[in-house]
Amino acid sequence: MFVVNRWIGICFILAGVIIGSFNYVEWRVGRSAAKEMTKDEIKQYKEGDEQVQAKFPESNIIEQKPSSQVHHIQGEKVAMLVVPTVGQKFSVYWGADQKVLKKGVGMYISPFTTTPNGGGHTVLSGHRDTVFYRLDELKENEILKLEYAGSLFTYKIKKIWITDPQDRTVIVEKEAPTLTITTCYPFNYVGNAPKRYIIEADLLYKKESGKTVLKGNINWGYNGTSAS
């Protein structure tokens, strides 16, 4: 009986080691999506921001294209989120289910949201303990950048707040080009965090082929990969 109990104990220990190793590998995969930027990269991304005014004329009519009508492969890397303030950039993948979020930052697919060049509400989500562990360092009026489809979109943080997971006012359709980032809260919580941390930012300008286009002058005729 002693020998049997001993082997049972060893099996439990091995199972714990295997499960722990698997969770660690998943954590490392998610954390690897957050890249530290060099000083030269940070300087490069900040160039030109000082010359751009805080307010721009609104565009007249925006022809939005929902992300649900865009052709990307689930889990495909589609964008790069750049946060100069903390010196980090993040790979962004298509979709926001648990499988995608294990890889890094996910871009929501829905009838209410768009890609950055879709002219509407772009929503990104990521885990606080892998990619977004420094998200709470950001402040209002700071800059976020999103590379997508050969263009660089620059946003200014409008507001930051904490809400419940059931809040249905976060992922909604918006008339103006907007970037929203969501993660769980509190950041140091062990287990499934009970709240959500939300950052909302307004588009300032778009840069494509070396040319800067102010928000009010952007032609939002959709030029991405869309459904026919």
Q: Which residues are catalytic?
A: 127, 184
Among candidate residues 36, 28, 34, 3, the one with its CA nearest the CA of residue 183: 34
- As a whole number of angstroms, the distance between CA 77 and CA 123 comes to 15
Strands 77-83 and 195-208: unpaired
Tell me which amino acid residue 134 is: R
Q: Phi and psi (nearest 5°) for 27?
A: -65, -45
- As a whole number of angstroms, the distance between CA 7 and CA 29 comes to 33
- As a whole number of angstroms, the distance between CA 65 and CA 220 comes to 9
Q: Which two tokens stand for residue 47?
A: 């160039």
